[in-house]
Each structure stands twice: as structure tokens, then as C-alpha cells.
Structure 1
């Protein structure tokens, strides 16, 4: 029951993107930015790559960190 409640709350926080591509990752951004990749194979054999762009130290005072997919 608690797990379902947490899931519903997490889904409500997800906002749609604007369709733009992620900015290119540069080596000097290592202390400030991270990219995480998730590779999934679909039922039809196609592979899909999801990437999450997380900016470190962003909105640290409010406790909310935005991630771009």
C-alpha cells in the first residue's frame, strides 16, 4: 500500500519535456554535470537508449533537483 502511494506521488511529479535534445557533454563539466544511460531491449528486438542529464549543485537550497531526459 505504501509502495503504491509513493509510486503515485512520483508519477505526479513527472513533467513532459519540450522535445529538445540534450546539450553535448564536455569533459570540463564533470564536477557539475552527470549523464546516466539506460539501454533497454524491446519485445521486437529493438534497442532503446534513455539518457538522464543531472546537474549537480542545481537548486540545492530548495532540495529539488531537475533532471532532463
Structure 2
């Protein structure tokens, strides 16, 4: 995954989070579900990349919090 693909995945994750919050705050269940779907799809892409990096042995694994998000 190139730098640009990583940036796109992160942007998609942030867009999904924003859409999810919008849905929650406005009582729009469809927007909330769509936002969650965008966020989860992007998180899967990023996690796949982390797994590929670990399999290639490109350094120490990145520390994560209890939600699986990279720390630091």
C-alpha cells in the first residue's frame, strides 16, 4: 500500500466518523450506518496493511490500544 493509498484510507475513515457523528446528532440512522460502514471499511484496509508489514518483517509491530488503533 503506497503512501497515497494509506492517506486515502485514513481520509475515508475520518469521513466515516464525521458521517456517523452527523447521523447520531441529527437522528439520521441512514447517515449513521453509512458512516460506520465507511469507517469500518477504511479500518480494515489499514489493518490489512499493518498485517502485511508485520508479515514482511518491516520492523517492530506498532503498539495499539484496546480498540486496535495505533498508539503514538
TM-score under structure 2 length normalisation: 0.25
Structure having the larger proportion of residues in helix: 2
Structure having the larger proportion of residues in strand: 1
TM-score under structure 1 length normalisation: 0.26
Larger gyration radius, structure 1 or structure 2: 1
